[in-house]
Amino acid sequence: MANTEINLPNCPKGGTGVHRWMWACAFKLKDAGCPQAQAVHIIRSLMTRAETSGDEVSSSVANAYHKKEDPDEIRERWPRFDPLVQAQVVAGGPSLLQLRAFSPGSLDASMDEVLLALFRPEELLCFGFGKNEFTTKTLQEWLGDDRRVFVTPSPMRAKFGRTKQGRISQHCEDNTGPRRFLVVEFDQGGTDTHAAVAWHLAEFAPLVLSVFSGGKSLHSWFNVAGWSEPEARKFFDYAVSLGGDRAMWRRFQFARAPQGWNPDKQARQTVQYFNPGAGLEAIQ
């Protein structure tokens, strides 16, 4: 079955909504009667970036094939992007250069220095460091490892868990612990826009960290430790309405590791804002 027969949209560039595209394609293929295994193959063949976990595509397809809702109904669960509200926020917000100047912590802090301000050495973290490659172990065991590209924004509760398909994995919802940080990655506008929106969102949750993806977006970390899920969802809904990528809502969704190396862009994932006092220190 050729994808042209069912008019699949082109896959966007990495960091601009690939996971959302994957989900929509899965529903289109399902509605067209495409076998589930073939749908996985087709979507993988059209990807513009590596999967952020070994079962990212197969998991999305499986979820779509086992749901009765169509993509439009699912999309309605999230607020629509409101460019007018975003423009109002940006008009009163700082540029990226100004956000950097506001940073209480050093922007030259190493990855380990940043992470030790966010997590305890004995806590389990899952890092991704290549195509479909990830491992969960304590932060102490990770220190000094320069392969790290992606990281879970909340500690893992166990080294292994079980995926929704029943496989044992070190990176899935089952072995991810309670939320500590919500990461907002922006799909709309440039980095000055992202900086202004992040600073605005900091009025509602402490902004701890902003990391440049190495491409064109910021990953901004907000401390939500101890928040209820409804409280966190209300905050994240607002972030989505301002251009945030809703895929980051998943507790085990990888974020860009601070000061890591983006192999696709051949660029450093630089720290643009760092407030260590709003991290682990604030919840101890």
State whether 207 and 242 are in the same domain.
Answer: yes
State whether 115 and 247 are in the same domain.
Answer: yes
Q: pLDDT of 111-150, one tens digit each? A: 999 999 999 999 999 999 876 789 999 999 999 998 999 9
143 found inside a domain: no
- What is residue 87's predicted lDDT score, i.e. its pLDDT? 94
- What is residue 22's predicted lDDT score, i.e. its pLDDT? 87
Burial 167-181 (b: 16+ CB within 10 A, else e): eebbbbebbbeebbb
State whether 68 and 97 are in the same domain.
Answer: no
Average pLDDT of adjacent 10-residue blocks, the chain of 284 residues: 64 78 86 87 90 79 70 60 92 94 97 97 93 90 94 96 88 94 90 96 97 94 95 95 93 95 93 96 81
State whether 104 and 36 are in the same domain.
Answer: no
114 found inside a domain: yes
- What is residue 67's predicted lDDT score, i.e. its pLDDT? 65
134 found inside a domain: no
- What is residue 1's predicted lDDT score, i.e. its pLDDT? 44
Q: How far apart are CA 219 and CA 197, in angstroms?
A: 12
State whether 93 and 45 are in the same domain.
Answer: no
- What is residue 50's predicted lDDT score, i.e. its pLDDT? 84
15 found inside a domain: yes
Q: Domain of residue 29: give its range.
A: 3-75
CATH of the domain at 248: 3.30.70
State whether 69 and 97 are in the same domain.
Answer: no
**Residue 145 structure tokens:** 């490892």
Domain count for the chain: 2
146 found inside a domain: no
Region of 268 on the Ramachandran plot (φ > 0 left; ψ -120 to 50 alpha; else beta): beta
Count other C-beta atoms under 10 Å from residue 138's C-beta. Answer: 17
125 found inside a domain: no
Q: Which of 43, 75, 107 corresponds to the end of one domain?
A: 75
State whether 95 and 71 are in the same domain.
Answer: no
